[in-house]
Amino acid sequence: MVVPKISSSMARLHFSQEVTKDLINRSVSIWENTYVYAAQAASLQLNRTAKEISLFPNARKLYFWLVDHYGYSVNIPKKEVYASKIFHVVELEEAVQNLLEKGALYAPDNNHVRLVEIYNSTQKP
């Protein structure tokens, strides 16, 4: 049911009046990738504990430093994160990347990041 709709949408996107085998294959691939991505996103939201434990130690330290200095509802300039000098540049980049991968940090635009609350106040080390 989904594949014919996606395939016909792909044909319209490519200004084609016919749905070709290639468009069907691409549509199935897009649908599979979207399904896998949605399933992973849903499981991340449901499984906060596993995400919290899997943060690198430097990422956890950076997370709480950002919470203490900025809080959750503030756009934090990326320049200020990298100017914090908490870690060496390479370690800081690794910590930021880990926070982004685990969903504890996201980028609302190219110049800012924002924290996502993944710990309650009793879990702070």
For the segment 24-41, the average pLDDT, to the nearest whole number, is 81
Overall average pLDDT of the 79-101 stretch: 88
What integer pLDDT is reported at residue 121 of this predicted model? 46
Q: Cβ contacts of residue 71 below 8 Å, gap of 6+?
A: 115
Instruction: Give alpha helix (H) positions in 14-118.
Output: 21-46, 48-53, 57-69, 78-82, 89-101
Neighbouring C-beta atoms of residue 116, cutoff 10 Å: 14
Q: Is it the case that residue 122 has pLDDT exceeding 50?
A: no
This prediction's pTM: 0.54
Q: Minimal CA–CA distance to 52: which of 4, 106, 102?
A: 102
- Whether 54 shows a pLDDT value over 70: the answer reads yes
Calpha distance 6→33 (Å, rounded): 13
pLDDT greater than 60 at residue 46: no
How many Å apart are CA 95 and CA 23, to the nearest integer?
Answer: 40
Helices 21-46, 2-13: crossing angle, 10 deg rounding = 120
Residue 15's CB: how many other CB atoms inside 10 A? 6
pLDDT at 60 over 70: yes
